[in-house]
Amino acid sequence: MRPHRRRTDAAARAYMRSVGRELPPAGPRVKVDPATGRRIALAYIAMENDPNDPEVRAAYNAFASELFDQWEFVKSVVRIDFTEGDPYPNSEAMRDDIRQNRRLRVFTGGEPHPILSYIVHPETGRSANDIFRAVHDVFGHAKEGNQFGPSGEENAWLDHSMMFSREAQRALTTETRGQNSYFNYAPQNEGKPVAEKQYAQQKAGLLPDEFLPPA
């Protein structure tokens, strides 16, 4: 394991111990099933954007709280620079920055999130959406070397989900598996070059439980 991955793995394990759990070993790398991806994309399209629903709010509040706790461990292994521009052309460039410079640049632009953009981290003043992007890039992507493509995003979701409570996993699944499935498999995006695909609308909602990670 390369030094930068050892550092991120150690930070993830330290976080898990801080909440009284051990980090399970990463499972075998999976390949996305396009048929499942299409089902998730359609479920995301059909999902109601309902940030005031108590069940939705509870899942997102748990998600934000746990992200803020994970942030304390992320910032010990990499410097986070927030930027309004898209910082990396691909996942390899991101990993190189972490490996060579111990730095991660995080994109802060895009459409506001109905819940996460309005929960503010007390120390940094950053939104939970910004903190999520940083933490997920480290613990979802960099720790196990997951790329930004369909299968890499699926593995990043699986790996990072192991670090959350079941309630928070519901929000994580919407934000990662749901949005990535829309990008890759929504009817309006399939067959298009990456540069021409539409990003998913930012929604606060919960996908059906069948799309959650194994309990």
Q: What is the pLDDT of residue 2?
A: 73
Q: Which of the four pLDDT bands, split at 50, 70 and 90, describes residue 91?
A: confident
Determine the pLDDT at residue 85. 87
User: How far is the C-alpha of 65 from the C-alpha of 62, rounded, in Å?
Assistant: 5
Could you give the maximum distance between any two Cα atoms of the chain, in Å?
45
What's the average model confidence in pLDDT over 187-215? 96
Residue 76 one-letter amino acid: S
Q: Tell me: the pLDDT tens digits for 148-184? A: 999 999 999 999 999 999 999 999 999 999 999 999 9
Q: Is the pLDDT of residue 112 over 90?
A: yes
Question: Over the stretch 26-61, which tens digit does the pLDDT of each residue have?
Answer: 999 999 999 999 999 999 999 999 999 999 999 999
Instruction: Please provide the distance, in angstroms rounded to a whole number, between the alpha carbons at the two ends of the chain.
Output: 28
Q: How far apart are CA 18 and CA 127, in angstroms?
A: 23
Give the whole-angstrom CA distance, residue 204 versus residue 50. 6
- Residue 133's nearest CA partner among 200, 46, 70 is 70
74-102: average pLDDT: 93
E strand segments, the chain: 79-83, 103-107
pLDDT at 40: 99
pTM: 0.96
Res. 18 pLDDT band, cuts 50 70 90: very high
The residues, ordered by sequence, that sit 6+ positions from 86 with a Cβ below 8 Å of its Cβ are 107, 109
Average pLDDT taken over every residue of the chain? 96
CA 153 from centroid of its chain's CA atoms:
8
Instruction: Tell me the pLDDT band of 1, cut-offs 50, 70 and 90.
Output: low
Query: How far apart (Å, rounded) are the C-alpha atoms in residues 137 and 34?
Result: 23
With cut-offs at 50, 70 and 90, classify the pLDDT of residue 5: confident
Query: 9 — phi, psi (to 5°)?
Result: -65, -40
In this prediction, residue 194 carries a pLDDT of 92
Does residue 3 surpass a pLDDT of 90? no
